[in-house]
Amino acid sequence: MPSFKVLIPSLLALTLAACAGKGDFDETGGIKIVRSACPAIAIPAFTGDVTLFNPATSRDASAIDVVATLTNVRTTCNDGGEAGTQITATANFDVLARRTNASGARDVVLPYFATVTRAGSEIKSKQIGQIALRFEDGQLRAQTAAMATASISKAEATLPPAVEERLNRKRKAGDADAAVDPMTEPTIRNAVSKASFELLVGFQLTNDQLAYNATR
């Protein structure tokens, strides 16, 4: 999808923050870093909503026909346990839509994507699905639920033992490296990035729809 050349760099900071883990304190007062091999899940910029126009070529506010928003994303992750080789992540989300003309029953079908990326920019897989919305006669609003699932290699999402040890090594106040975040080291940061996956979901927009979202 051409738009990912623009969207993925804007997600890089979010991706690293979500996948690299967070600082915390252990029972002895030492600092530890908690990291999950499960992919971060996000909606890329400008793909969380879509606007349909009538006529389709118009961009006037008076021509807005249907507006839909992808929201309320919930995630589950199964790392397969000790013997598992695959990690499965599922994103469940809602789609809320509003039309400007309540006359007559109407079905609207919107395409959406589910893309797995690695290290913030490498696209590993992409699937396209469809979201069906039903407007009953006299109703301006419609809602439905949808889901996307990703399966990634547990080996690729697992940090090398040396990197894992460096991240998890207890650091206490007074230690020479107590104030040094291991993520500032290029080798550690690169290893974490390489082992970090993301499941991105959003509407599959045309170039015109993407431009409209980005500039409105």
Share of the chain above pLDDT 70, in %: 78
End-to-end C-alpha distance for the chain, whole angstroms: 22
CB 40 within 8 A of CB 199: yes
Rounded to an integer, what distance in angstroms lies between the CA atom of residue 19 and that of residue 76?
Answer: 15
pLDDT for residue 34? 59
For residue 2, is pLDDT > 90?
no
- C-alpha distances in angstroms, 214 versus 14, 23, 205? 19, 35, 12
Band of the pLDDT at 37, cuts 50, 70, 90? confident
Whole-model pTM: value is: 0.77
Q: Kindly report, residue by residue over 69-102, the tens digit of the pLDDT.
A: 999 999 999 987 776 799 999 999 999 999 999 9
Token representation of residue 176: 């020479």
Q: How far is CA 158 from CA 20, 125, 197, 200, in A?
A: 12, 19, 10, 20
CA dist., res. 152 & res. 199, Å (int): 10
> For the segment 186-201, what is each residue's pLDDT rounded down to a tens digit?
888 888 899 999 999 9
